[in-house]
Amino acid sequence: MDHKQAFELLPGYLDQELSLSEALEFERHLADCEQCRQVYAQHRLVSAQLRQADLRVAAPQALVKRIKAALPARRPLWQRLGERFGQWRGGGSLAWAPAGAMLMSVVALTWSVGLYLSVPSSETRLTQELVDNHIRSLQVNHLSDVISTDRHTVKPWFDGKLDFAPPVVDLVQQGYPLVGGRLDYLNGRAVAVMVYRYKLHPINLYVWPGNDAGATPRLYAQQGYHLAHWSAAGMNYWAITDAGEAELNGFITDLRAHPAS
C-alpha cells in the first residue's frame, strides 16, 4: 500500500467503514510509515474536536414563534376519530361513543403489540453483542491474551481463569491455524475465545457451557460478518469472521470433525 491508497482509506478507517482486510492492510502500512501516522493523528484530533464542539445554533425565539403560528392547528386523534364515527353513525354525540371506545382499545392494543415486537429477541441481542465484541477485539488489537499456535499452550492458559475447561483443537493442517486465545465477557458471563485465521481473516470462536442451540450450526450474516451458532458436548459455540460463508462452513466442518483436546 502506498501513500495515495492510505490517504484514500483514512476517512473510512476513522469512521470504521473499512472491511477487516482493508483495515488490517491500512494498519500494517501505518506501522511502517511515519508520515501517514502523523496525518492519521491529525485527523483523529480534528475528529475528536468536532465531536466535542457544540455546533448547533439555537433559532431565535421570534423565528420559532412565527413557524409555530404558521403551522395548521391539529386536533387530537381521538377527537378526529370521534367525529368520523359520529358521521358514520348519524352524527349523534353518543352514537359513536361505543365504536370510538372500541377503536381506541384497538389502537392501544396495536401500539402495545408493536412495542413488544420492536424489542429485539435475546438471540438478536446476543448476535449484535458478538459482532460488537469481534469488531472491538480488532480495533484495540486485543485478539489474543495468549499468543501461540500450540493448543497445549493455549488450553492450559485458561486454567483457573474460567469455571470450565474449553476444548482447544489444532486445525493448521486444514488451513485454519490457531493463533491464540483470550478471556472475554459475553452474554452476562466470562467466556473463552480461541482465535484462528483463514489467510488474513481472523476467526473468533466463543465457547461457554450450555445447550441453548441445536447440534446443527445455524448461520447468520450481519454488518458484513458471517456468524454460526451450535452446541456440542455441553458447550455453546459461536464463530464469527469476515471471511466468506463457504470458508466459515469449512472451518466449522473441520472443527466438529476434530476430536476435542
- Residues 100 and 182 placed together within one structural domain of the fold: no
pLDDT above 80: residue 228: yes
- Name the least confident of 88-102, 113-127, 206-220, 233-247: 88-102
Give the Cα separation of 206 and 193 in Å (integer).
5
Examine residue 128 and state whether it is found in any structural domain, yes or no: yes
- Residues 135 and 251 placed together within one structural domain of the fold: yes
**Predicted model pTM:** 0.52
- Residues 222 and 107 placed together within one structural domain of the fold: no
Last residue of a domain, one of 87, 118, 149: 118
Please report, for the domain that includes residue 162, its CATH number: 3.30.200.100
Longest dimension (CA), the chain: 84
Q: Which pLDDT score is estimated for 119?
A: 46
Look at residue 15 and give its three-state secondary structure.
coil
Give the Cα separation of 161 and 170 in Å (integer).
21
Q: How confident is the model at residue 42 (pLDDT cuts 50, 70, 90)?
A: confident
pLDDT above 80: residue 97: no
Give the Cα separation of 165 and 153 in Å (integer).
13
* 121 secondary structure, DSSP code: P
Examine residue 103 and state whether it is found in any structural domain, yes or no: yes
- Residues 163 and 227 placed together within one structural domain of the fold: yes
- Residues 184 and 241 placed together within one structural domain of the fold: yes
Do residues 169 and 261 make contact, with C-beta atoms less than 8 angstroms apart? yes
Do residues 30 and 6 make contact, with C-beta atoms less than 8 angstroms apart? yes
- Domain of residue 19, residue span: 3-52
Do residues 247 and 200 make contact, with C-beta atoms less than 8 angstroms apart? no
Can you name the residues that pair with 237 across neighbouring β-strands? Answer: 207, 230
To the nearest whole number, what is the mean pLDDT of the chain? 78
The C-alpha angle with vertex 133 and arms to 129 and 136, in degrees rounded to 5, equals: 140
- Name the least confident of 94-98, 160-164, 193-197: 94-98
- Residues 216 and 174 placed together within one structural domain of the fold: yes
Average pLDDT value for residue range 195-201: 91
Examine residue 69 and state whether it is found in any structural domain, yes or no: no
Q: How confident is the model at residue 13 (pLDDT cuts 50, 70, 90)?
A: confident
- Residues 158 and 237 placed together within one structural domain of the fold: yes
Q: Which single residue is written with the C-alpha cell 491474551? A: 145
- Residues 25 and 108 placed together within one structural domain of the fold: no
Percent of the residues in the chain that have a pLDDT greater than 70, as a whole number: 73
Q: Which single residue is written with the C-alpha cell 447468520? A: 220
Q: Which pLDDT score is estimated for 104?
A: 65
Examine residue 251 and state whether it is found in any structural domain, yes or no: yes
Dihedral sign for Cα atoms in the order 18, 20, 22, 23: positive
Q: How many domains does the chain have?
A: 3
Q: Which pLDDT score is estimated for 94?
A: 47
The residue ranking higher by pLDDT, 56 or 124, is 124
- Residues 100 and 178 placed together within one structural domain of the fold: no
The residue ranking higher by pLDDT, 1 or 231, is 231
- Residues 93 and 157 placed together within one structural domain of the fold: no
